[in-house]
Structure 1
Amino acid sequence: MGFNKTLSRFLTIASFYAVLTACSSNQPTVEPDLPEKEYFRLAQEALDNNLPTTAAEQLKELETRYPFGEYSIPARLDLIYAQFEAGNYAAAHATADRFIKNYPDNQALDYVYYMRGLSTYKGAESFLGRFLNLNPADRDTSEFDKSFSEFADFLRRFPESEFAPDAKARMVYLRNMIAEHEVAIAHYYFKRKAPLSALRRGQEVIQHYPSTPSVEEALAITIQAYMDLNLYDEAKQNLAILVNSYPESQYLDKEQKFIPFELPREADPDFLYWVSLGMID
Structure 2
Amino acid sequence: MIRRVLPLLALGLGLVALPGCSWFSDWDGKQSSLDAERRVAANATYDNTPEGLYAAGVEALQARRFAPAADYFDQIERDHPYSTWATNAKLMSAYAEYQRNRYTEAIGALDRFIQLHPAHRDIAYAFYLRALCYYEQIADAQRDQRPTEQAMAALQDVVNRFPDTAYARDARLKIDLARDHLAGKEMNIGRFYQRQRLYAAAIGRFRRVVEDYQTTNHVPEALHRLTEIYLTLGLTEEAKKTASVLGHNFPGSSWYQDSYALLVDGAPASAQDRPGLMARAWNWVF
For 1:231 and 1:237, the matched residues in 2 are separated by 10
1:142 equivalent to 2:146? Answer yes
- The normalised TM-score by structure 1 is 0.73
* Corresponding residue of 1:38: 52
Q: Percent identity?
A: 25
- Aligned Cα RMSD in Å? 2.9
1:200 equivalent to 2:204? Answer yes
**For the Cα contact (< 8 Å) 1:191–1:262, is it kept in 2?**
no
Give the C-alpha shift of residue 91 in structure 1: 1.1
Q: Which of 94, 119, 141 pairs up with 2:108?
A: 94
**Counterpart amino acid of residue 104 in structure 1:** P
Over residues 38-64 of structure 1, what are the superposed CA-to-partner deviations in whole Å (9 max), with x where a residue is unaligned?
Answer: 221211111111111110111122212
* Corresponding residue of 1:168: 172
1:116 equivalent to 2:120? Answer no
| Shift in CA distance, 76/277, structure 1 to aligned 2, threshold 3 Å | closer
| Shift in CA distance, 275/191, structure 1 to aligned 2, threshold 3 Å | farther
Over residues 81-116 of structure 1, what are the superposed CA-to-partner deviations in whole Å (9 max), with x where a residue is unaligned?
Answer: 111111111111111111111111111010011001
For 1:49 and 1:277, the matched residues in 2 are separated by 30
Structure 2, gaps ≥5 residues long = 1-46
* Corresponding residue of 1:153: 157
Range with greater deviation from structure 2 (101-110 or 66-75): 66-75
Larger radius of gyration: 1
**Counterpart amino acid of residue 51 in structure 1:** R
For 1:49 and 1:184, the matched residues in 2 are separated by 42
Q: Which of 67, 70, 76 pairs up with 2:81?
A: 67
Q: Which residues in structure 2 correspond to 1:110-259 (within 5 Å)?
A: 110-125=124-139, 128=140, 136=142, 139-253=143-257, 256-258=260-262
| Shift in CA distance, 39/221, structure 1 to aligned 2, threshold 3 Å | same
User: Deviation above 6 Å: which 4+ runs of structure 1?
Assistant: 262-265, 274-279
- The normalised TM-score by structure 2 is 0.72
For 2:282 and 2:106, the matched residues in 1 are separated by 27
